[in-house]
Amino acid sequence: VSIGITMVPHDSEDVGTLMKFADLAMYRAKEMGRNNYQFFTPAMNIKAARRMLQQEELATALQEDRFVLHYQPKVDLNTQKVIGVEAFLRWHHPEKGVVPAQQFINLADETGLIIRLGEQAFRQACIQVQALERAGFESLKMAINFSVRQITDTGFLDLIRRVITETGVAADRIELELPAELLNEDPRMLRELLVALNDLGVCLILDDFGKGSCSLVALQQLPLDVIKIDHGFIRDIPYNVSATDVASAVIALAHKLHLTVVAEGVETVQQLAFLKSAGCAQSQGNLFSYPLDEDALIGFLIRQYEKPLIS
C-alpha cells in the first residue's frame, strides 16, 4: 500500500486541492518503491506543475509536427558497407533547438503520448525507406525503437500492419527494435505477439541486450532475428576484461541461437577490431557516423562508395 497524506488546514482548506495534494504525495510514495507513506510538500506541486507544462508542450509539438527522425548508419563489418539505419527521434523545439529523444521520451511514455508519437515516427520511417529507395538505395533496412508500453498496447500489432499497408513499404525492410526488458512481460502474450509480427515479415531485434535481467529461455523460444549488445559493454572494450568477456560470450551465445549480432555505440578502431575478431556481423556508432538528418544521410551513403568508411 502507498499512502499520500496532506494536512488541514496547513496545506489547504479546499477539498479539491487537498485531494490533489494527497494524490501527489501518494505518487511520490509509489515512486519511492511503494509500500510507504509520504506527506505532501509544496515542492511536489512545483514538480507536478512543471511536468504538466512539459506534457502540454509535447502535445503541442506533436500537433505542430515538430518531431523528425535522424538516422544512424549500421555497417556490415565484412563488406564495410551500410546495410541499414536506426531511426532516432528528435524534437525541433522553437527555443531549445534540436532536442534528443532521451530528454522527452520517458515523459511521453509515462503520459501515454508515446502511442500517437510512436505512430507518427513509425510512419515517417516507412516513408523514408521509400525515399531512400527512390534515391537508389534499395536494400537498406530501417530499424525503429519501441518502448514496452507501446508494444504491450492492445493496438500495437494493428498499428504496425496498418502503417505498412498504408505506406506500401516492403515489410522485410522494417526492423522493430524491442527493449530487452520486454522479455519480462507475460510469456504467452509476448510469444503470440512476436509470432504475429514475424508473420507480417518484419525483422525483430532485441535491443540493449545484457542490460538488466533477461530470460535466456525466452530468448530461445521467441522468433527473434537479431540481438543488439548494449553499448555499456562496447564502451569498455578492450581495456576492461570483464566487459570484453561478456561481449565475446554474448556473440557466441547469439551464434548458437542463430541470431545476428549488432554492436552499437562503437567509437574506436580498437573496439571495431575486437568485434570483428569475435565474429560480430554488424555494428553502428560514432566511429562510422553520428545520427544524420535525411539529406546528410544520403550524402553519407553516396560517399561510402567513393572512399572506405574506416581507412
Asked if 230 interacts with Mg ion (CB under 5 A), we say: no
Options 35-43, 48-56, 171-179, 285-293: segment touching Mg ion (CB under 5 A):
171-179
- With respect to Mg ion, which residue has the nearer C-beta, 44 or 85? 85
- With respect to Mg ion, which residue has the nearer C-beta, 26 or 205? 205
How many residues sit in the footprint of Mg ion (CB under 5 A)? Answer: 3
Q: How far is the CB of 263 from Mg ion (least distance, A)?
A: 12
Asked if 175 interacts with Mg ion (CB under 5 A), we say: no
Q: How far is the CB of 265 from Mg ion (least distance, A)?
A: 10
- With respect to Mg ion, which residue has the nearer C-beta, 29 or 262? 262
- With respect to Mg ion, which residue has the nearer C-beta, 29 or 180? 180
Asked if 177 interacts with Mg ion (CB under 5 A), we say: yes
Q: How far is the CB of 93 from Mg ion (least distance, A)?
A: 22
Distance CA 3, CA 13 (A): 20
What is the footprint of Mg ion within residues 196-215 (CB under 5 A)? Answer: 207
Q: State which of residues 124, 145, 244, 283 lies at the interface with Mg ion (CB under 5 A).
A: 145
Q: How far is the CB of 290 from Mg ion (least distance, A)?
A: 15
- With respect to Mg ion, which residue has the nearer C-beta, 38 or 72? 72
Interface residue list for Mg ion (CB under 5 A): 145, 177, 207
